[in-house]
Amino acid sequence: MDKKQSDHDMNLRGTLVSVFFVGIVIVAMWVAVYLMYVAR
Amino acid sequence: MHFHKYEKIWLSFGIVSLIVFLSVVGVSAFSQNHTPSGGMDTIDPEKVNETAPFDNPGVTQLDEDTYQVAIVALAFGYNAPDLRVPVGKEIIFKVTSTDVVHSFTIDDTKVNMMVVPGRITTKSYTFEEPGKYLILCNEYCGTGHHMMSTEIEVY
Amino acid sequence: MIAQPERKIALWHLGVAYTAFLIGTLMGVLQVFIRNDALQLPAWLDYYQILTAHGVLLALIYTTFFIFAFFITGMSKSLGSFGPKVRLFSWIGLWVTLLGTVMATVMIVAGEASVLYTFYAPLKANGFYYVGLALVIVGTWISSFALVGHYMVWRRNNKGQLSPLFAFMTITTIVLWIIACLGVVATVLFQYIPWAFGWTDTINVELSRSLFWYFGHPLVYFWLLPAYIAWYTIVPKLLGVKVFSDSLARLAFVLFILFSIPVGFHHQLTEPGISNFWKFLQVVLTFMVIVPSLMTAFSMFATFEISGRKKGGTGLFGWFKKLPWRDVRFTSIFIAMAFFIPGGAGGIINASFQLNEVVHNTLWIVGHFHITVGTPVAMTFMGLTFWLIPYLTGRRFTKRMQRLGFVQIITWSIGMLLMSTAQHVLGLMGAPRRTAYSGYNDHPSAMEWFDGIISNHVTMAIGGTILFLSAMILMYIVIMTMFVSPKAETPEQMVEFPLAESDMSNTPKWLENWWIWIGIAAALIIIAYAIPLTHMIQHAPPGSKGFITW
Ligand code: HEM
Ligand SMILES: [Cu+2]
Ligand SMILES: [Cu+2]
């Protein structure tokens, strides 16, 4: 099977949304502590 | 080796975020002098009390806007008489130890310095609020570790 | 089922692991009650003695013995039965590690080694504490070489073939471990032991710390990678799918060899003797080691989604409901992964150069490693234990045990959520770690820390108590499945080793060329460490004599 096509078969939209949830946790926690750092 | 399109998007996002984090801390550290405490100065841990500035611990005014505070950490306390410093001035803390590793940590500030025997740790900090700040040791140093504390008054 | 001799070796490892777990978690619950002044210790027992035992027995001993049990079983399963030499050396490795463990533990109990598991000089423990720890490392090396030998035999017999994913990942972890241990072996052998026995008078403190942390960071990857092995190779089987991508899984693992070692300075960001340049360089390298974990996150969700969709889940999140939530082997590991999201995010904060000043040596750090090693790793190990022990003993994992398993992981999650959240918040406010009860003479700042809704003495104690109960339920399951549960008689009652299939047809061969990875790793280590360590040696201040301050 052609690689492009196998991508097409695999519907990973849920995965994309889920990893972005992880990304948001990372960014939010980091920014929170960064702001605490700046405030001290 | 094949990356799914979404994985490429995710990894790009992740890597860009990491680069942003690094740039933010890097620029702030190196161009605005926000590096963590440290320093390359050494000292004989058995001769601390004879070596400047620790032969005269406490606060010294260096010039109009700068003060130096020399502190000797030891199990389980700090040799640092009369810790009173003004608000809004640059305070340079210099700390060393005569025995084991300690820390010199001022609550609610960026001052969180590891204190290693044979080394002098330096940190510059400017207080913005007057008050009495708790100083404590947060590196395990023995039975009395949780008692090791003092206070600094900012006026 | 794997051969009887390997089962016996693995079960012995599990026996030692869970003995350490039992004592270690008991220490943990004592800690939370001493910290809030609910418990007074008798004069012959000290908080820091207990804390040393907790750190050593859980972080070093439980993990190590469990990991080798898992590796031995998995290597026998995926590469075939061990030869006589591999068996012999696995036994020798076990006994040497155990001897070291007992030696170190005796020293802690005797009050001769209240120096915590990081044993920072110039706190000077009894020399036999360091000898014990050195033997632990040597023992793991012997076990490691036994497994590497087994792998080499397989490679010789299967020329030109990629090894099975489990074996590849095991060898990656072992390569990482052996390179990492060089640092701690160097400092213990050449600095601590001569000094502790009085053959040298003084010790170069900063060098000893740096060599320790050269080891200390990859140590956490030595705990984490076996959990990742389970996530990559066991979880898909539980979900009824293949490994998401064999080549990306292998790529992630080799990236760990490269970037998990030259980063130890991120534990030393606030200390003197290392210039900002070298600290920052290692911070950058630390950020590189985040990438393979981002890849892992994607692979995991993709595995879930593919499985859920195969089972008929539709829409954006329909697959989520189709996951086998009633299978405690899966649910445990899923929760473990969930804890790793804030755990990993916290790690990025800790490593962010000056941000480290906010959290360094506060209770935040304690919260952090309980939601990295204390739950993601430990709960993955629990999820493996549920089937690993019955698989090895040939007993059943009964319905009752499965239900208890759920009680166990849910209580652990609740307890850990309470305890670690309290610790994170307390730490951000400034409360220090590694401290017995102290109000700092009732200083208002210290009073304020413990005055919050989450950040108070009670939350941590409740969390700790629930955790301990959970640990005891696990001990019950361990003992039952090891000695008491009925033997499996029919094939359905047999517990399997759920190892997923991995499609290697698109995996490039160079991924398994170890010399490439060891070579690049060595180059990175030299770049990151050669100059600062040389400086530490050449411009060393007069050394420190030892202190016994407990
Ligand atoms: C019953 C479950 C547990 C409880 C109640 C518990 C409690 C605690 C507490 C309160 C501390 C902090 C003490 C202080 O800084 O003063 C601590 C430290 C620590 N815990 Fe746990 N813990 C548990 C399980 C675990 C597990 C499963 C692991 C790892 C596998 C672990 C690893 C550690 C480590 C490495 C330390 C640091 C020791 C040190 O500072 O030297 N704990 N634990
Ligand atoms: Cu201390
Ligand atoms: Cu680290």
Q: What residues of chain C lie within 8 A of the CB of B143, using their CB?
A: 46, 48, 114, 549-550
Q: What is the average pLDDT across C482-505?
A: 93
Active site residue C434: yes
Phi then psi dihedrals of residue C374, to 5 deg:
-70, -20
Q: Distance (Å, rounded) from C-alpha C213 to C-alpha C262?
A: 10
Q: 3-state SS of C353-404?
A: HHHHHHHCCEHHHHHHHHCCHHHHHHHHHHHHHHHHHHHHHCECCCHHHHHH
Question: What is the band of C14 on the pLDDT scale with cuts at 50, 70, 90?
Answer: very high
Question: Pick from A11, A14, A37: which is nearest to C354 by CB?
Answer: A37
Closest Cα in chain C, distance from residue A15 (Å): 5
pLDDT at A8 over 70: no
Kindly report which listed range (C69-83, C316-330, C427-441) carries the lowest average pLDDT score: C427-441
Q: What does DSSP assign to residue C549? A: -
Q: What residue type is C70 in one-letter code? A: F
C-beta C463 within 6 A of ligand 1: no
Q: What is the average pLDDT across C228-232?
A: 97
pLDDT at A4 (0 to 100) = 42
Q: Could you read off the pLDDT of C159-211 as tens digits, one per residue?
A: 989 999 999 999 999 999 999 999 999 999 999 999 999 999 999 999 999 99
pLDDT at A3 over 60: no
Q: Would the CB atoms of B121 and C272 count as touching at under 8 Å?
A: yes
pLDDT at C340 over 60: yes
C-beta C20 within 6 A of ligand 1: no
Q: Whose CA is nearest to atom 13 of ligand 1?
A: C434
Q: What is the average pLDDT across C301-309?
A: 95
Q: What is the average pLDDT across C139-168?
A: 96
Mean pLDDT for each consecutive 10-residue tract of chain B (155 residues)? 91 96 96 93 95 93 94 94 93 96 95 96 96 95 94 95
pLDDT at B2 (0 to 100) = 86
Distance B73 CA to ligand 2 centre (A): 9
Q: Would the CB atoms of C294 and B134 count as touching at under 8 Å?
A: no
Q: Would the CB atoms of C348 and A40 count as touching at under 8 Å?
A: no
Q: What residues of chain B lie within 8 A of the CB of A13, using their CB?
A: 6
Domains of chain C: 4-538 (1.20.210.10)
pLDDT at B81 (0 to 100) = 86
Phi then psi dihedrals of residue C530, to 5 deg:
-55, -50
Kindly report which listed range (B20-29, C321-330, C448-457) carries the lowest average pLDDT score: C448-457
By C-alpha distance, which of C360, C183, C337, C320 is closest to C239? C320
C-beta C27 within 6 A of ligand 1: no
pLDDT at A5 (0 to 100) = 41
When the pLDDT of each residue in chain C is averaged and rounded to a whole number, the result is: 95
* Total-model pTM: 0.96
Active site residue C155: no
The alpha helices in C240-290, defined as continuous H runs, are: 246-259, 276-288
Q: Would the CB atoms of C271 and B37 count as touching at under 8 Å?
A: yes
C-beta C59 within 6 A of ligand 1: yes
Q: Could you read off the pLDDT of C100-111 as tens digits, one per residue?
A: 999 999 999 999
Distance B143 CA to ligand 2 centre (A): 9
Residue in the block written with tokens 């990656």:
C172
Neighbours of chain B (3+ CB pairs under 8 A): A, C
Residue in the block written with tokens 């003993």:
C393
Tally helices (H) and strands (E) across chain A: 2, 0
Active site residue C217: yes
pLDDT at C453 (0 to 100) = 81
Question: What is the band of C355 on the pLDDT scale with cuts at 50, 70, 90?
Answer: very high
C-beta C375 within 6 A of ligand 1: no
Distance C366 CA to ligand 1 centre (A): 7
Q: Is the ipTM of this complex over 0.85?
A: yes
Neighbours of chain A (3+ CB pairs under 8 A): B, C
- Four-point Cα dihedral C67, C72, C78, C79, nearest 10: 140
Q: Which atom of ligand 1 is nearest to the CA of C468?
A: 1
CB C238 within 8 A of CB C387: no
* Best mutation target, A5, A7, A13, A38, to test chain B (most B CBs within 10 A): A7
Question: What is the band of A10 on the pLDDT scale with cuts at 50, 70, 90?
Answer: confident
Question: Pick from A12, A22, A33: which is nearest to C349 by CB?
Answer: A33
Q: Which atom of ligand 1 is nearest to the CA of C32?
A: 10
CB C86 within 8 A of CB C151: no
Q: Sketch the domain layout of chain A as residue ranges.
A: 1-40
pLDDT at A9 over 60: no
pLDDT at C45 over 60: yes
C-beta C151 within 6 A of ligand 1: no
pLDDT at C440 (0 to 100) = 87
Q: Would the CB atoms of A14 and C317 count as touching at under 8 Å?
A: yes
Percent of chain C with pLDDT over 70: 100
Percent of chain C with pLDDT over 90: 90
Q: Would the CB atoms of B17 and A27 count as touching at under 8 Å?
A: yes
CB atoms within 10 A of CB C521: 21
pLDDT at C221 over 90: yes
Active site residue C369: yes
Q: Which atom of ligand 1 is nearest to the CA of C25?
A: 1
Q: Whose CA is nearest to atom 31 of ligand 1?
A: C374
